């Protein structure tokens, strides 16, 4: 097991890094109109559902893109309202930001869709204090991290390197971390279809959290 693969689990042990036997594609930081619809098109092409850990501020800015994700049947999850770093704020401020995300999601949730489920949370950067995690869990959330961090936000990373990492580190239960953000756009969109093709060829079930 590589160092990068297990870094989140070792540094932040109070979150889930692997689940069951399926593999889970997750996307942080959207919804972004320049990126998220392209991700949805790729997922639709391969018949795959994913989990989107969205920033509440982006939900308010781009409610139409938020609605596209919901209507496509993907899982929606809390990533705080302002992409907040837990290590820099009090627990009270952190929880207020988590609740502000809930308000944004409820306010913009499209009519006629299955009820919004408030049960999945990922702390930005994976950074929270233990008492913040306890407070988040009291709200009814399960905290999901990852065990395959693509680092698609790193401009020095190539799609080829990311694909090799996915192929090397993925195993049953893996949670793969991508970002539907401007910073990750080109690299993520190039590697995503290749990663899905490889995962499906290997016989992995791709599911939502």
Residues annotated as catalytic are 28, 179
User: Residues near 176 by Cβ (< 8 Å), separated by ≥ 6?
Assistant: 23, 24, 25, 26, 146, 148, 150, 166, 170, 195
SS3 call for 175: strand
Rounded to whole angstroms, the Cα distance separating 96 from 167 reads: 39
Rounded to whole angstroms, the Cα distance separating 61 from 39 reads: 18
Place of tokens 């989107």: 52
Structure tokens at 103: 């308000």
DSSP assignment string, 82-111: S---GGGS-HHHHHHHHHHHHHHHHHHPPT
Structure tokens at 7: 């870094």
Rounded to whole angstroms, the Cα distance separating 181 from 155 reads: 12
């Amino acid at each position: 097991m590589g160092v990068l693969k297990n870094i989140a689990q070792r540094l932040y042990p109070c979150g889930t890094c692997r689940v069951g036997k399926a593999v889970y594609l997750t996307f942080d930081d959207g919804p972004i109109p320049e990126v998220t619809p392209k991700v949805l098109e790729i997922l639709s092409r391969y018949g795959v559902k994913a989990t989107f850990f969205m920033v509440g501020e982006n939900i308010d800015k781009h409610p139409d893109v938020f609605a596209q994700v919901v209507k496509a049947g993907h899982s929606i999850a809390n990533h705080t309202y302002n992409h907040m770093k837990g290590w820099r704020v009090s627990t009270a401020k952190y929880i207020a930001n988590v609740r502000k995300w809930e308000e944004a999601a409820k306010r913009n949730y499209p009519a006629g869709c299955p009820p919004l489920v408030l049960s999945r949370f990922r702390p930005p950067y994976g950074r929270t204090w233990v008492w913040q995690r306890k407070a988040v869990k009291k709200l009814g959330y399960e905290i999901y991290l990852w065990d395959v961090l693509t680092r698609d936000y790193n401009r020095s990373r190539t799609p080829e390197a990311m694909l090799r990492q996915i192929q090397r580190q993925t195993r049953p239960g893996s949670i793969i971390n991508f970002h539907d953000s401007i910073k990750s756009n080109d690299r993520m969109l190039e590697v995503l279809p290749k990663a899905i093709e490889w995962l499906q060829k290997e016989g992995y079930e791709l599911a939502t959290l």
